[in-house]
Amino acid sequence: MSAKHEILFNAFAMNTVGHLSPGQWRNPRDRSGAYNRLRTWTDLAQVLERGLFDGLFIADVIGLYDVYGGGPDAALRHAAQVPINDPMLLVSAMAHVTEHLGFGVTANLTWTSPYLLARAFSTLDHLTGGRVGWNIVTGYLDSGARAHGHAGLIAHDDRYAMAEEYMQVCYKLWEGSWADDAAVRDAAGGTFTDPARVRPVRHEGAHYRLEGIHLCEPSPQRTPLLYQAGTSTAGRAFAGAHAECVFVSGPSAAVIRRRTAELRAAVAEQGRDPADLKVFSLLTVVVAATQAEAEDRHAEYLRHASPEGSLALMAGWTGLDLSGYALDQEIRYIEREGYRTALENITRAEPDRVWTVRDVAEHCAIGAIGPVVVGDAAGAADAVEAWVEETGVDGLNLAYAVLPETFEAIAAHLVPELQRRGRYKRAYRPGTLRAKLYGRDRLAPPHPAAAHRWTD
């Protein structure tokens, strides 16, 4: 990728309070506390579309952050990703008030059958005019597994193996069950769907069995744009095979650069073009009309931050009960079933760096492990350009401190500056989310989805 490519922007959010910046709900300007009002989301979508954001990336988690202190009290008190509502149900309202904004929706495949999840995404692909993406996750919280009657998380690599098979089933449903011309809508002849142009899917595998037709007629993208996050060995192999976009996080530009290069290599190993992967990394930008104003905003955000809320999140991500550590105790890597990348980030990702619990609480106060850029338009644009160059990423998942203030400020100050520098689009490309990113509506060979396409 050339050094001067246009930088892609996703806004990063979650159907919850505060998302990656616990405590900011106490700021009177923050609307994330009204996450349960549709207006919060439709207003946000319009802010993002005015700023020509490529997408809204909605994280999700099934379960409670109950590792810190051995229970849910800290997470509940500080609204550390609880309460949390369903992300999918936000999308059609936001699609209704926008024309181009994409929606990357996180959905956990462990607790939903492929038959139902494939239908949900096809429904959204129809209703958004092909603007939906799926962030494929398998879950990392024990509490989510217990809520489904399991003793604990399914083992890490088994989750990825299940995901691999799950994708095959979904591709069969999305790509192969209906011919493009199946829904003829022939009023004169009395045929809505030509039965000869619809086929049942049959699948018998180690984890899933299915016999049935996909319930939805072909949608604009068929398979939604595929996102993935998670960069363990198994995670990279999965991304190499399936992902069109990957979301990475890390404690430094050097770590992100390494992971980005490894992900592009994993795509190439599968015989795919490395250019068919867009990498987004986590960043928070606090930008204002002047440097002093931006610094004031940042200082204000830090006053509202909730260190215990941030530690409750980090404990859930890493599986380590950080409440039992002394504040200046070093955190060490141990192999766990959960979210290995999160623990790597604060242990062995940078061999020379030591993270204590205090470091985590301070660093993750705003925007979690991602860096925070504070500046006026020129300063923020310099920092964003430097970050993109140092890491080799295609775009950014921009976390917010205060919703929607963070995104309004980016749209007002950073976007015009990047446009002046030729680093940001001046208009949306037409068409589906995949067409905007890749110039095509559907996945093409050698992507494995294409092998399941209907053929006569």
Ligand X SMILES: Cc1cc2nc3c(=O)[nH]c(=O)nc-3n(C[C@H](O)[C@H](O)[C@H](O)COP(=O)(O)O)c2cc1C
Rank residues 322 and 396 by Cβ distance to ligand X and give the closer one.
396
Q: Near ligand X by CB under 6 A, which window of 161-169, 334-342, 421-429, 435-443?
A: 334-342
64 binds ligand X (CB under 6 A): no
Give residues with Cβ within 8 angstroms of 101, minimum separation 6. Answer: 45, 48, 49, 53, 54, 55, 56, 94, 95, 131
Q: Taking the complex as a whole, how short is the minimal distance between the CB of residue 429 and ligand X, in angstroms? A: 26
At 446, is the secondary structure helix, strand, or coil? coil
The whole-angstrom separation of Cα 428 and Cα 52 is 7
Spatial contact of 245 and 225, defined as CB atoms under 8 Å apart: yes
Rank residues 61 and 443 by Cβ distance to ligand X and give the closer one.
61
Contacts with ligand X in 141-160 (CB under 6 A)? Answer: 156
339 binds ligand X (CB under 6 A): yes
12 binds ligand X (CB under 6 A): no
Which member of 9, 53, 65, 140 binds ligand X (CB under 6 A)? 140
171 binds ligand X (CB under 6 A): no
CB atoms within 10 A of CB 414: 27
Which member of 30, 43, 60, 125 binds ligand X (CB under 6 A)? 60
What are 203's strand-pairing partners? 210
Q: Which ranges constitute the DSSP H helices of 370-409?
A: 377-391, 405-409
List the x/- string, 232-271, binding to ligand X by CB under 6 A: x--x-----------xxx----------------------
- Tell me how far CA of residue 245 lies from CA of 1, 58, 104, 431, in angstroms: 15, 14, 10, 18
Rank residues 220 and 251 by Cβ distance to ligand X and give the closer one.
251
The whole-angstrom separation of Cα 368 and Cα 360 is 9
132 binds ligand X (CB under 6 A): no
Spatial contact of 452 and 171, defined as CB atoms under 8 Å apart: yes
Rank residues 249 and 432 by Cβ distance to ligand X and give the closer one.
249
- Please compute Rg for the chain using Cα positions: 22
| 200 preceded by a cis bond (ω within 30 of 0) | no
The whole-angstrom separation of Cα 432 and Cα 325 is 49
Rank residues 364 and 381 by Cβ distance to ligand X and give the closer one.
364
Which member of 59, 124, 320, 443 binds ligand X (CB under 6 A)? 59
Rank residues 153 and 173 by Cβ distance to ligand X and give the closer one.
153
Q: Taking the complex as a whole, how short is the minimal distance between the CB of residue 137 and ligand X, in angstroms? A: 4
DSSP H/E element including 73: helix 73-78
CB atoms within 10 A of CB 184: 12
The whole-angstrom separation of Cα 66 and Cα 110 is 20
The whole-angstrom separation of Cα 17 and Cα 402 is 10
The whole-angstrom separation of Cα 433 and Cα 224 is 9
* Chain centroid to CA 289: 29
Spatial contact of 27 and 304, defined as CB atoms under 8 Å apart: yes
Which member of 264, 340, 434, 442 binds ligand X (CB under 6 A)? 340
Rank residues 222 and 340 by Cβ distance to ligand X and give the closer one.
340
Residues in the interface with ligand X (CB under 6 A) total 22
Q: Near ligand X by CB under 6 A, which window of 138-146, 170-178, 398-406, 439-447?
A: 138-146
List the x/- string, 343-372, binding to ligand X by CB under 6 A: ------------------------------
* Chain centroid to CA 183: 33
Closest chain position to ligand X (CB): 235
Which member of 82, 94, 229, 411 binds ligand X (CB under 6 A)? 229
108 binds ligand X (CB under 6 A): yes
What are 281's strand-pairing partners? 248, 396
Rank residues 162 and 409 by Cβ distance to ligand X and give the closer one.
162
448 binds ligand X (CB under 6 A): no
Q: Near ligand X by CB under 6 A, which window of 24-32, 207-215, 338-346, 355-363?
A: 338-346
Rank residues 59 and 411 by Cβ distance to ligand X and give the closer one.
59
Rank residues 61 and 435 by Cβ distance to ligand X and give the closer one.
61
Contacts with ligand X in 68-107 (CB under 6 A)? Answer: 106
Rank residues 155 and 289 by Cβ distance to ligand X and give the closer one.
155
Tokens 């699948």 belong to residue: 203
The whole-angstrom separation of Cα 156 and Cα 135 is 18
Contacts with ligand X in 397-436 (CB under 6 A)? Answer: none
Which positions touch ligand X (CB under 6 A)?
59-61, 106, 108, 137-140, 156, 229-232, 235, 247-249, 282, 339-341
